[in-house]
A = this chain, B = another copy of it.
């Protein structure tokens, strides 16, 4: 009450605390079911403080979404830097996706929420743009690898790289949803099996 020393967190540095707490409760209960009071409690701060860092509950969801995607992108970049043939990189990208799905099934829920929370809101436009940009980012990476393989003569040149990128990303997203509802599916083996088929279909025949 009168202790002069800061408790644990430095002043004005509660942002990651809130972000972490929000991510957790969003994952557990879903955006709509979560109250700002709950987020604050989980973060161990006052309700009003949340609004010092985020202008609204919705804004907080945006931040969580971006936070998650940044982390994923970072790992993708690291993976690509390792080099290898296009087939190798493609295989590793799929593995990474499977790993993410396996590790963070509840994160999948946050993404679902993000999609759904946008609807009918004032900021629907902004949500859509944010989703679009994110999707394009992932797609760009995938398509680039495919095109690399085509240029190198590894992969069939007549295949539409963009289409393959779209569908592979779609498959990874959709897999997360299915596993969210059916925990018996094993993402790693499923992705590996399907990946082999796709790679077989992509490679140049002699």
Contacts and interface: CB of A to CB of B under 8 A. Distances in A.
Interface of A: 28-34, 109, 112-113, 115-121, 128, 131-132, 135-136, 159-160, 162-164, 166-175, 177-178, 180-182, 185, 189-191, 193-194, 196-202, 205
B112 A193 contact: no
B32 A119 contact: yes
A11 to B, nearest CB: 14
A26 to B, nearest CB: 9
A171 B169 CA distance: 8
B181 A163 contact: no
Copies of this chain held together in the complex:
4
Contacts of A118: 30
Given A112-B112, A201-B201, A177 B173 contact: yes
Nearest to A33: B120
Nearest to A191: B167
B170 A30 contact: no
Given A178-B166, A189-B163, A119 B30 contact: yes
Given A119-B32, A190-B163, A201-B197, A132 B170 contact: no
A93 to B, nearest CB: 14
Nearest to A26: B119
A12 to B, nearest CB: 15
Given A116-B113, A167-B175, A170-B171, A33 B191 contact: no
A109 to B, nearest CB: 6
B174 A194 contact: no
A136 B171 CA distance: 16
Nearest to A34: B120
A87 to B, nearest CB: 13
A32 B116 contact: yes
Contacts of A196: 159, 201
